[in-house]
Amino acid sequence: LSFVSLPVRLTGLLGEAQSLSESRRLKEFIEDSESEALALFDPSHRADSRSGDWYGEHAGKWLVAAARAALRNPSPDWNSRLEGVLLHLRACQEEDGYLGAYAQDAACRFTHPDAPKNRTWDIWVHAWAILGLTECCRIDALRELAEPIATKIGGLLLNTFHSEPGAALRQGNHGGLSSLVILEPLTKLSRLTGNPAYARLALGILEAAESHGLAFLTLPPKDVSEIGTGKIYQIIWCLQGILDLADFLDRPDLAAAVEAHWTAIGDRHLTPYGGPWGGIGGHKEVFNSPGFFHPGGLVETCSSATWLTLTQAMFLRSGDPRFLAEIEKTALNAILGAMDANGRDWCYFTFPNGRRNNTYHWACCKSSGAMALEACSQALLVEEEGTLSICQWWPFETVLPDGRELRLELRAGTVFLSASQATNLRLFVPEWATTEFQSGSFIQVTATPEGLAIPFTVPPQVIPHTHTVDHHGQEIVREDYACVRMGPFVFATGKFDGYAAHRTLRLPRLNPESTLKVVDDHAIDLIQAGCKPIRLEPYCLAGGRHDGGWRTTWLEVAWQ
């Protein structure tokens, strides 16, 4: 199978979020070469930079997000903004290809012999720069400018690590994971240029990682919490790199290892709203041990963003619809649920049960959130051997390369599909929708100018979870929880009666859904005898979309 992803303009909740992020986050965070995230690369700023910080990542992440925004919403304004940033980066790039933010003689440079003894994020920063530059190469008008900057970085990486690829892993924290992320950028460089040397270096680094204990490839697979420090964001990004490398080098064994980890993360390490969670037992950004449960589990927005794009890559290479539900859940709940209504601010951590906390100016998660929003359009409309497939029931409109217009709308209980000329295509019917067709599969339809309407029902669902802990065969903890889903959304409530973080609800074991009264697509009342109804809303809207808002997703339950 060979899938080609086409640019799509989203409308609805996701589309509104993309537009806000485009105008507020993307166009305000970097305006020109004076903007802080770019000024870091200026020789004058560089001269004082020796602390090995990671802030340089924002320029590359911005390029990824802005290039995607420019592809879905092309304009001369976007092209000139992107061109300005590329020209600045080119001016800051040193003769040997270095494009980091550290002083020329700083020991934290990845080219410095003492780099392994120092705090350094230099490989990480260059990894983001390469991804940003390769994303810009998707825009025809920018490729001539962006590609040489990227290949010069690639050349420096080859010169530095060619003779001993494993040396890269001695730099970068989290046991080398923060350097191993270079797998994906190196593979992308090979795809872009057709030069396999970058991918060969990536393979050398991966093989060194395996022999130094960063074991992604052992069978049966280690749990992800046991790889390196268990750092979620890095591990998922490494998996994405291994997957890309597997396809470039035609190594199905590597792809099988990634798929095994993907399945294990899905089974053991996700919150109900799709984010990979951790942080209760150790460092706040590492996977928990499998089976650990806490309603206040931490989800880093960077981890959700990377989980989304890994899952999209899994789908795009296989066409397997089982990945689509996971993409939808993470996009509409974890990603949208981390963004503030102002389009600028993001939570670093979100919690099934907990407070929204907008993060600080330089936080990684703000750039990752904006990138993930732009990624949402990517695996929505795909083409396989001339046939279009619509992969989600997300409202969108697009103009196909041959000029045909295509539009999907959701109207009370109906999915409505129209095209400016009759178009045969495949439409995915999500698991959550009950229609005359088989859920969870693609169907053949014809979109016409008059439109095609498919009615559906979407019943709310109570999902129970019993958390138990055993000690020497004796059960010492038993707590009952439930959460509510309807359609693509996980539902949550704010504080009970406006102030209480906890309340135990009584739900009938048989047909707990009988306590739910659907008000509309975005509102459900949970009825408890003798009390005011408890209003549930989609996780991304519940409790207010601003700093300080509270969400309760896991409801404590006394089963009746």
Provide the binding-site residues for Zn ion, judged by CB under 5 A.
Answer: 300, 302, 364-365
Burial code (b: 16+ CB inside 10 Å, e: under 16) for 7-17 equals: bbbbbebbbeb
The phi and psi torsions of 312 (rounded to 5 degrees) equal -60, -40
Nearest to Zn ion of 54, 481 (CB atom): 54
At its nearest, how many Å lie between Zn ion and the CB of residue 43? Answer: 28
Nearest to Zn ion of 350, 423 (CB atom): 350
Nearest to Zn ion of 122, 300 (CB atom): 300
Q: How far apart are alpha carbons 285 and 266 in whole angstroms? A: 17
Nearest to Zn ion of 209, 370 (CB atom): 370
At its nearest, how many Å lie between Zn ion and the CB of residue 310? Answer: 16
Nearest to Zn ion of 208, 308 (CB atom): 308
At its nearest, how many Å lie between Zn ion and the CB of residue 369? Answer: 9
Instruction: Give the H/E segment covering residue 418.
Output: strand 414-419
Nearest to Zn ion of 68, 231 (CB atom): 231
At its nearest, how many Å lie between Zn ion and the CB of residue 269? Answer: 17
The strand pairing partners of 287, in sequence order, are 278
Cβ distance 324 to 391 under 8 Å? yes
Q: How far is CA 535 from the centre of its chain?
A: 29
At its nearest, how many Å lie between Zn ion and the CB of residue 55? Answer: 13
Nearest to Zn ion of 233, 489 (CB atom): 233
DSSP letter for 493, please.
B
Which token pair is 513?
Answer: 């859904």
Burial code (b: 16+ CB inside 10 Å, e: under 16) for 506-527 equals: ebeeeebeebbeeeeebebebe
**What's at 480, amino acid-wise?**
D
At its nearest, how many Å lie between Zn ion and the CB of residue 292? Answer: 21
Nearest to Zn ion of 365, 372 (CB atom): 365
At its nearest, how many Å lie between Zn ion and the CB of residue 395? Answer: 29
Nearest to Zn ion of 350, 553 (CB atom): 350
Nearest to Zn ion of 301, 553 (CB atom): 301
DSSP string for residues in 52-118: ---TTHHHHHHHHHHHHHHHHS--HHHHHHHHHHHHHHHHHS-TT---SSS-TT-TTSTTSTTGGGS
Cβ distance 381 to 8 under 8 Å? yes
SS3 402: coil
Residue nearest to Zn ion according to CB distances in the complex: 302
Q: How far apart are alpha carbons 555 and 271 in whole angstroms? A: 14
Length of the chain: 560
At its nearest, how many Å lie between Zn ion and the CB of residue 368? Answer: 6
At its nearest, how many Å lie between Zn ion and the CB of residue 119? Answer: 18
DSSP letter for 537, please.
E
At its nearest, how many Å lie between Zn ion and the CB of residue 83? Answer: 28
Q: 290: cis peptide before it, omega within 30°?
A: no
